[in-house]
A and B are shown apart, each in its own frame.
Chain A
Amino acid sequence: MELILAIASGVLFGTGFYLMLRRRLAQLIIGLGLLSNGANLLIFTAGGLTRARAPVIAEDASQLARPFADPVPQALVLTAIVIGFGVLAFSLVLAHGIHTMAGTDDIDEIRSGSG
């Protein structure tokens, strides 16, 4: 399972970087989104995969019973997803602004065209 997720994360990074090297803003934004999701998946995988219970101490116990899932990577991924959501939404607004102003979303034309 680790291997599959690691490959998936690698594919996300690869496609993300490929799209970011394209000339269109829309592709660049999708690339950024894939990149941050690749990073999230990597955190999740690197944090260790377990088939285990939630890390909640049972009512009659004084400490956690093994095996339990590590809550930290989940918290990290959740935070990163929220931040990624905000940033991605903002870049969409920005790209939309550029598109309405320049009438194109080709990066080279934005630069050379007269605005």
Chain B
Amino acid sequence: MTTTTSLILRTGARVLMPLLLLFGVFLLLRGHNAPGGGFAGGLVVAAAYILHFFAFGLDAARRALLTRPERLIGSGLLLAVGSGILPVLFGRPFLTSLWFDPASGIGTPMLFDLGVFLVVIGVVLIMAFTLAEE
């Protein structure tokens, strides 16, 4: 992956990357009671890294991710399971929503959504990187 890409793409990617990341997180947080959520947000963030890969190559994209996609999937799954188990500790059925403060949307569903967010980023990037390697 040493092909030189166009200056426009590289400059554009540099500007768009933080915006896309921010937009992904925005979608994640908005998902509480409006369209959005972990899946959509995760896709946007994954798309940001794929754009980075188009512009700067596979190694740069891997470095920009700071961790391996497998790690993201693992921690996302842990968060999701944890959000389900938390209510069990309070004697409620598995996956029951517990709210710290319902108005702000902070509670176990948020934790679950964060888990989904991480899993989606991890899965999409694993697939994209695998395709890119071959």
Contacts and interface: CB of A to CB of B under 8 A. Distances in A.
Q: Do chains A and B touch in the complex (CB under 8 A)?
A: yes
Nearest to B43: A85
Interface string A43-81: 000000000000000000000000000000000000000
Contacts of A18: none
Interface string A81-104: 010001001101100110010000
A93 B39 contact: no
Contacts, number: 13
A93 B123 CA distance: 12
B131 A90 contact: no
A96 B127 CA distance: 11
Contact of A97 (B123, B124, B134): B134
A100 B127 CA distance: 16
A90 B39 contact: no
Contacts of A86: 123
B123 A96 contact: no
A82 B130 CA distance: 20
A93 B130 contact: yes
B21 to A, nearest CB: 21
Contact of A89 (B39, B124, B134): B124
Contacts of A92: 131
Interface size range on A against B: under 10
Interface string B54-96: 0000000000000000000000000000000000000000000
A90 B134 contact: no
Nearest to A92: B131
Contacts of A89: 124, 127
Nearest to A90: B127
Interface of B: 39, 123-124, 127, 130-131, 134
13 contacts: A82-B39, A86-B123, A89-B124, A89-B127, A90-B127, A92-B131, A93-B127, A93-B130, A93-B131, A96-B131, A96-B134, A97-B134, A100-B134
